[in-house]
Amino acid sequence: MNWTDTLADYTHHLRFIRRSRDKTVDSYLNDLNIYSKWMVNHGINDPLSVQIEQIDAFLEEYCEHHANASILRLHSTLRNFHAFLGESKDQYNDPTDRLASPKKQTKLPVFLSADDVSKLIVESDDPKEIFHTAIVDLLYATGLRVSEASDLTFTQLYLNEGFIRIIGKGNKERVVMIAPATLVNLKKYIDTVRPLWLKGKNQHVFITRRGKQVSRQYIYTVVKSRCRDAGIETSVSPHKLRHSFATELLAGGADLRVVQELLGHSDISTTQIYTHVESKRLHQAYDAFHPANKKQGESK
């Protein structure tokens, strides 16, 4: 058994047996290509001969150059891959059974204030600026993932009713409301700009001047350029607008379960990180403004 044939079999398994999404398959294969290349370079040409010692050595090198999120995903990829090998061979000793799970490093999400976000929502009659405003406003007002905005089609968009039906991670469906002001900006783009750029029959809501589906990378560029133009020095990505959406909902008194549903989180613990952000903000407000805290500072 060699790596090329095994990875081809595993790709077939992911696509047609597990029916994984294309992006999930691509992510798995990217990790496994790095993994298999390392193994071949170290003289291990048969995936079935991999031992835990080799996996540990590979991970030690990998961890030096990758973020915690990538490391966590890689561990999951390796466990799933070797479990697949176990299904195809009797008496296979899965080396990942002895693989130590990495510790998840929880970082508080970075978010923008409502005032900073308002600087990103630019009114203009320029087609490109109308387009960019519609994207940025929708990301902040709905908490969409950048991939969900890129993939958004008119079959998911209910303009008259004011909501979007999203098929998120794991094919999990959720409904997200669109604020009236955001609807205005979105309709302005759809009615005035999109018809100018449309070529053929493209059902994606956001398209480029060439009539193609807008890419995730393009949306990243839009958000970063808007922040730069607004003088916002914090490193901002589309995902930080999602953080801002969640944080403002909790600050306004929204129930944690509601925020979980709107974000499309399968696990409530993922949403709970935003309660820590809000708690930190409350402490900062107390330290700055509460009379008792001021008196304590003055007495020193």
For CA atoms 285, 289, 290, 295, give the dihedral sign: positive
Q: How far is CA 195 from CA 6, 185, 202, 215, in A?
A: 47, 15, 11, 19
Confirm whether 274 is a catalytic residue.
Answer: yes
What is the C-alpha R_g of the chain? 24
Residue 76 is encoded by which pair of tokens?
């999951």
Are the C-beta atoms of 147 and 23 separated by less than 8 Å? yes
Confirm whether 265 is a catalytic residue.
Answer: yes
Report the first-to-last Cα separation within the chain, whole angstroms.
73
Count CB neighbours of 198 within 10 A. Answer: 11
Confirm whether 239 is a catalytic residue.
Answer: yes
Are the C-beta atoms of 236 and 243 separated by less than 8 Å? no
Out of 13, 66, 212, 239, the active site residue is: 239
Phi-psi region of 211 (alpha: psi -120 to 50; beta: other; left: phi over 0): left
Out of 75, 132, 145, 243, the active site residue is: 145
For CA atoms 167, 168, 173, 177, give the dihedral sign: negative
Confirm whether 103 is a catalytic residue.
Answer: no
Out of 169, 174, 212, 281, the active site residue is: 169
Out of 82, 132, 242, 243, the active site residue is: 242
Confirm whether 242 is a catalytic residue.
Answer: yes
Q: Find the angle CA(55)-CA(169)-CA(86) to the nearest 5 degrees.
A: 35
Confirm whether 132 is a catalytic residue.
Answer: no
As annotated, the active-site residues are: 145, 169, 239, 242, 265, 274
